[in-house]
Amino acid sequence: MELDLKFEKIITKQVKYETTNLGLNMLIARLQRKYAANQSPEELNTCRQEMKAFFEKYASILAKDIETLKKL
Q: Contact positions toward another protein, by CB under 8 A?
A: 17-18, 21-30, 32-34, 36-37, 53-54, 57-58, 60-61
Q: Which is nearer to another protein, 53 or 72 (CB)?
A: 53
Q: Which is nearer to another protein, 9 or 34 (CB)?
A: 34
Handedness of CA 54, 57, 58, 63 (dihedral sign): positive
Q: Quote the distance between the C-alpha of residue 18 and its chain's center.
A: 11
Shortest Cβ distance from residue 40 to another protein (Å)?
16
What are the two backbone dihedrals, phi and then psi, of residue 20, each rounded to the nearest 5 degrees? -90, -5
